[in-house]
Amino acid sequence: MPRFLKYTLFIIVISIRVSSEASCQAPIFDVKPLSFNSPVFSDIAPVILKDGILFCSDRRTSSLSLITTFNDEHLYNIYFAARKDTSGWEKPRLISSAGSPVLYYGPLCLAPDGKTVYFTSGILTGKAAKKKTVINPRGIFIGELSGTSINNVRPFEYNNPKYSVAQPSISRDGKYLFFASDMPGGVGASDIYYCELINNKWGPPVNLGGKVNSKSSENYPFIHPSGRLYFSSDRPGGLGGLDIYYTILNNGTWEEPVLLPPQINSASDDFAFVAEESLQTGYFSSNRDKKNDNIFRFSSTIIRKVKCDTLQINSYEYEFYDENAMNFDTTLFRYEWDFGDDAQAEGVKVVHSFKGPGKYSIRLDVVNLVTKEVKKNEKTIDLKIKDVEQPYISCPEVCKIGKQIKLNADSTNLPGWNIKQYYWNFGDETVASGKEVNKAFIKSGNFNIQLIVTSLPDASGKVKEACVSKNINVIR
């Protein structure tokens, strides 16, 4: 089993899927097409770089020529669009491959070294590729990206003219290369495979199995640093056409793929999903608006606080002791405590549970067993017990997978707050709002629930916010 995937299982990620069980669901994604998308040509398969994105496009490389196959299929090239600011992009620049025999540059990925590029292209080149009758399977090619050119191109060892091997995605540690292939022996149509790098050599392709792959086509894998594997599939159960799913390796088994929510998926083809490390933002391709494919940017609107207090359970149990007596032999004295609620106890150190919040006057009488002298009410402790001022999450600590549970914030104790919203982040990329919500976890594990309470603006317009978190263990 890939080690890096094991280690990344518990990384907290933000925003992908919303719980259908949530009582009141806020929209969790903002999706916008990129400004440089061509209105008539296709732009697909973005790759996130520090200063921009690489993507594939079949747009004209010049105003005079449009390169197509003999079947009038547009040939793709790789482009780089530099990021101008948070929303703007510079005009995409063609990534050329001077001297390279390949004609098509398709979906790609960049190795951790930032230079080695794995890209998709037709396996056949030269005259063989130009024959009208020939079907040119896709293969993965490897080259070095330098500026706007790819050099030293060489084929991936598992390319095969009898089937396609395409759409590579390499893990952050560079040890696993995922790709799509319709090679024989798969579950059906195109499947997702991976190869493991062993002694600087890619091991044989491994099919991800029947949970990930289906009789339909699975393609465009993207392995995120968190260990999540995103891919597209036109399997039944989606919103239509290709839809984007994710899965994760759990104890050596790829889990049931999860369909991304409607803001990402649509009735059209949605594919080639990539995301930033935080999973807050990313890109995908879709033909939802027009006939051609375009690249869309998504950003999560899910709120997840970095700093959030752990829920404190109200405790009315207190320990009392004479601090100055703790280092000494006190056998010559008898400590008599009166807790002010009709309860008494004897001992240097005593524990008492009060019934609830209130004011209590605790009295200590000490009897000197040598002199029989009694020091009455030697010192009085005025104890004021209050519930903790915090939002309060009431929910079970353990629940079963798939079973609906109720969570409520009824015991929230925020005096003087005019509460506007109770916002729940269940820690599994689902959210809800409301004082009482229902939730069914679809995966097992420990989840950190956050309850974020915001107030209405006060007279000065100030809005207060408080966050508490609580863990819940979801078991099978």
Residue 267 burial (CB count, 10 A):
12
Stretch touching another protein by CB under 8 A, among 69-77, 214-222, 370-378, 419-427: 370-378
* 325 contacts another protein (rule: CB under 8 A): yes
- Binding-site size for another protein (CB under 8 A) equals 32
Stretch touching another protein by CB under 8 A, among 137-145, 257-265, 365-373, 397-405: 365-373
Distance from C-alpha of 271 to C-alpha of 251, rounded to nearest angstrom? 27
Structure tokens at 367: 């009897």
Residue 314 in contact with residue 412, Cβ under 8 Å? no
* 329 contacts another protein (rule: CB under 8 A): yes
- Calculate ∠ Cα 180-52-95, nearest 5°: 65
Indicate the residue among 12 and 351 with the shorter CB distance to another protein. 351
Longest dimension (CA), the chain: 115
Indicate the residue among 307 and 384 with the shorter CB distance to another protein. 384
Q: How far, in whole angstroms, is CA 367 from its chain's centroid?
A: 63
* Distances from the Cα of 179 to the Cα of 117, 124, 171, angstroms: 14, 19, 11
* 398 contacts another protein (rule: CB under 8 A): no
> Shortest distance, CB of residue 144 to another protein, whole angstroms?
58
- Calculate ∠ Cα 278-284-290, nearest 5°: 150
> Shortest distance, CB of residue 395 to another protein, whole angstroms?
15
* 410 contacts another protein (rule: CB under 8 A): no
Q: Is 451 helix (H, G, I), strand (E, B) or coil?
A: strand
Closest CA to 275 of 31, 62, 90, 97: 31
Identified binder of another protein from the candidate list 99, 331, 384, 459, rule CB under 8 A:
331
* 379 contacts another protein (rule: CB under 8 A): yes
Identified binder of another protein from the candidate list 1, 64, 98, 370, rule CB under 8 A:
370
Indicate the residue among 30 and 373 with the shorter CB distance to another protein. 373
Indicate the residue among 41 and 318 with the shorter CB distance to another protein. 318
Q: What are residue 148's phi and psi, to 5 degrees?
A: -110, 25
* Distances from the Cα of 64 to the Cα of 59, 60, 95, angstroms: 12, 8, 18
Identified binder of another protein from the candidate list 28, 145, 264, 362, rule CB under 8 A:
362
Identified binder of another protein from the candidate list 29, 119, 254, 333, rule CB under 8 A:
333
Identified binder of another protein from the candidate list 291, 324, 410, 461, rule CB under 8 A:
324
Indicate the residue among 239 and 381 with the shorter CB distance to another protein. 381
Stretch touching another protein by CB under 8 A, among 122-130, 325-333, 426-434, 436-444: 325-333
Structure tokens at 228: 């999540």
Stretch touching another protein by CB under 8 A, among 4-12, 119-127, 367-375, 465-473: 367-375
Identified binder of another protein from the candidate list 10, 378, 402, 403, rule CB under 8 A:
378
Indicate the residue among 38 and 344 with the shorter CB distance to another protein. 344
| Residue whose tokens read 């709120």 | 303
- Amino acid identity of residue 107, one-letter, is P
Distance from C-alpha of 329 to C-alpha of 345, rounded to nearest angstrom? 19
Indicate the residue among 146 and 361 with the shorter CB distance to another protein. 361
| DSSP calls for 22-54 | -SSPPP-EEEEE-TT--SSS-EEEEEE-SSEEE
> Shortest distance, CB of residue 450 to another protein, whole angstroms?
20
* 397 contacts another protein (rule: CB under 8 A): no
* 361 contacts another protein (rule: CB under 8 A): no
- Calculate ∠ Cα 134-140-141, nearest 5°: 105
> Shortest distance, CB of residue 181 to another protein, whole angstroms?
55
Q: What are residue 100's phi and psi, to 5 degrees?
A: -85, 140
Stretch touching another protein by CB under 8 A, among 221-229, 253-261, 360-368, 442-450: 360-368
* 366 contacts another protein (rule: CB under 8 A): yes
* Distances from the Cα of 143 to the Cα of 137, 152, 258, 448, 450, angstroms: 19, 5, 33, 43, 45
* 85 contacts another protein (rule: CB under 8 A): no
Distance from C-alpha of 212 to C-alpha of 207, rounded to nearest angstrom? 9
Identified binder of another protein from the candidate list 3, 87, 328, 346, rule CB under 8 A:
328
Indicate the residue among 65 and 331 with the shorter CB distance to another protein. 331
Distance from C-alpha of 15 to C-alpha of 2, rounded to nearest angstrom? 25
Residues 263 to 322: which contact another protein by CB under 8 A? 312-315, 317-322
Indicate the residue among 196 and 341 with the shorter CB distance to another protein. 341
> Shortest distance, CB of residue 360 to another protein, whole angstroms?
10
Q: What are residue 244's phi and psi, to 5 degrees?
A: -100, 130
Binding site for another protein (CB under 8 A): 312-315, 317-325, 327-333, 351, 362, 364, 366, 368, 370-371, 375, 378-379, 381, 383
